[in-house]
């Protein structure tokens, strides 16, 4: 793994940054590219008794530094030869696997979003430190990149935090919690309450088997029975509708958001809409397959049978 490090970002730069990079190379076996004023980086190495660059350490010169007083929205453009901008461009070009900076958080977020770009489908970037806990740490996401979010943003943060905990921290089946002013579902603003309801109701029946004609937890579900049950529990008195009936009940939309329904045709031999699911954001749905589970709408199967999105009245 090759890490690109902003050698000039942070309160104790470049001394702490250079020494940290050296420790990472020696103790973790990673490769590091130090980006910043070459003469300042070399001086730190010389003061520590290092005359030659050790294997795994590389320097890329950048003459400018983004200061904390700079406008974070424009600093990466106005200072094109800054260590932050040069480092992000190296990442964009594939010269490294990750970019680390202890400098201006706002400038880093703006530059990363506009230069490197977000993952396809992700609406907002997120800050995600690992907070020490008795169980080895928890991912706190988001902790400052988005001042005012939406249920969709929080749902995407939940997905990203869960993936990070599973893939990077090696946690099997990580749990997701919604940080709020209290544990009760009634606490918080409309944003917290709506997101809490979305997450809990969407996941309550995961693992239930597919049963043709089923429409309640006691019988288990088929696709339309599952959605009919969920909608009834959330305040829509739809009774028991089939997939076509649910489609007819909704208003068509081309801009889906979490809580919308998604419809398919041709999944088995029947006229009209044949399958349906609950859209949860980021190209995923929760549906009654066998068993009830999440599914990626970008797969070739679901793309070939996709019909429409529908918004509940």
| pLDDT at res. 90 | 97
Q: What pLDDT digit, counting tens, does each position of 136-186 carry?
A: 789 999 988 887 777 778 889 999 999 999 999 998 888 888 887 766 666
Q: What pLDDT digit, counting tens, does each position of 72-126 carry?
A: 888 888 999 999 999 999 999 999 999 999 999 999 999 999 999 988 888 889 9
| pLDDT at res. 200 | 75
| pLDDT at res. 198 | 59
In the chain, the percentage of residues whose pLDDT exceeds 90 is 67
pLDDT average, residue stretch 55-81: 92
**d(C-alpha 172, C-alpha 85), whole Å:** 36
Task: Identify the residue with better confidence: 70 or 187.
Answer: 70
Task: Identify the residue with better confidence: 263 or 74.
Answer: 263
Nearest to 82 by CA among 6, 3, 2, 5: 6
**d(C-alpha 202, C-alpha 279), whole Å:** 9
pLDDT average, residue stretch 284-312: 93
Asked if 91 and 99 touch (Cβ cutoff 8 Å), the reply is yes
| pLDDT at res. 194 | 65
pLDDT average, residue stretch 293-303: 93
| pLDDT at res. 235 | 79
Asked if 214 and 222 touch (Cβ cutoff 8 Å), the reply is yes
| pLDDT at res. 192 | 63
| pLDDT at res. 119 | 85
Name the range with the highest mean pLDDT among 161-175, 185-199, 265-279: 265-279
| pLDDT at res. 134 | 79
| pLDDT at res. 94 | 95
For the cut 70, the answer to whether the pLDDT of residue 301 exceeds it is yes
For the cut 80, the answer to whether the pLDDT of residue 211 exceeds it is yes
Q: What pLDDT digit, counting tens, does each position of 22-52 carry?
A: 999 999 999 999 999 999 999 999 999 999 9
**d(C-alpha 67, C-alpha 63), whole Å:** 13
| pLDDT at res. 239 | 95
For the cut 90, the answer to whether the pLDDT of residue 308 exceeds it is yes
Nearest to 88 by CA among 42, 80, 64, 165: 80
Task: Identify the residue with better confidence: 310 or 184.
Answer: 310
Q: What pLDDT digit, counting tens, does each position of 226-246 carry?
A: 999 998 888 788 999 999 999
pLDDT average, residue stretch 204-221: 94
In the chain, the percentage of residues whose pLDDT exceeds 70 is 95
**Binning pLDDT at 50, 70 and 90, where does residue 249 land?**
very high
């Amino acid at each position: 793994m090759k890490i690109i490090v902003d050698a000039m970002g942070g309160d104790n730069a470049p001394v702490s940054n250079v020494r940290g990079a050296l420790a990472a190379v020696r103790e973790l076996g990673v490769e590091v590219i130090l980006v910043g004023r070459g003469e300042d980086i070399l001086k730190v190495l010389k003061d520590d008794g290092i005359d030659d660059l050790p294997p795994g350490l590389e320097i890329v010169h950048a003459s400018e530094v983004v200061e904390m007083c700079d406008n974070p929205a424009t600093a990466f453009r106005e200072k094109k030869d800054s260590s932050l901008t040069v480092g992000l461009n190296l990442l964009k070009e594939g010269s490294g696997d990750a970019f680390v900076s202890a400098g201006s958080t706002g400038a880093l977020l703006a530059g990363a979003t506009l230069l490197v770009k977000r993952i396809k489908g992700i609406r907002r970037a997120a800050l995600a430190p690992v907070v020490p806990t008795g169980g080895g740490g928890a991912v706190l996401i988001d902790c400052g990149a988005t001042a005012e979010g939406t249920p969709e943003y929080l749902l995407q943060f939940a997905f990203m935090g869960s993936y990070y905990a599973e893939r990077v921290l090696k946690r099997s089946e990580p749990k997701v919690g919604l940080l709020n002013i209290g544990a009760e579902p009634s606490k918080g603003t409309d944003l917290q309450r709506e997101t809490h309801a979305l997450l809990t109701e969407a996941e309550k029946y995961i693992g239930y088997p597919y049963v043709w004609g089923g429409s309640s937890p006691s019988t288990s579900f088929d696709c339309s029975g599952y959605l009919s049950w969920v909608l009834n529990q959330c305040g829509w008195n739809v009774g028991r509708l089939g997939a076509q009936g649910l489609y007819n009940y909704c208003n068509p939309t081309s801009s889906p958001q979490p809580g919308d329904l998604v419809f398919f045709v041709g999944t088995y031999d029947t006229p009209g809409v044949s399958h349906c699911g609950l859209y949860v954001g980021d190209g995923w749905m929760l549906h009654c397959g066998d068993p009830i589970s999440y599914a990626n709408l970008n797969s070739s199967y679901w793309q070939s049978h996709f019909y429409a999105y529908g918004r509940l009245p």
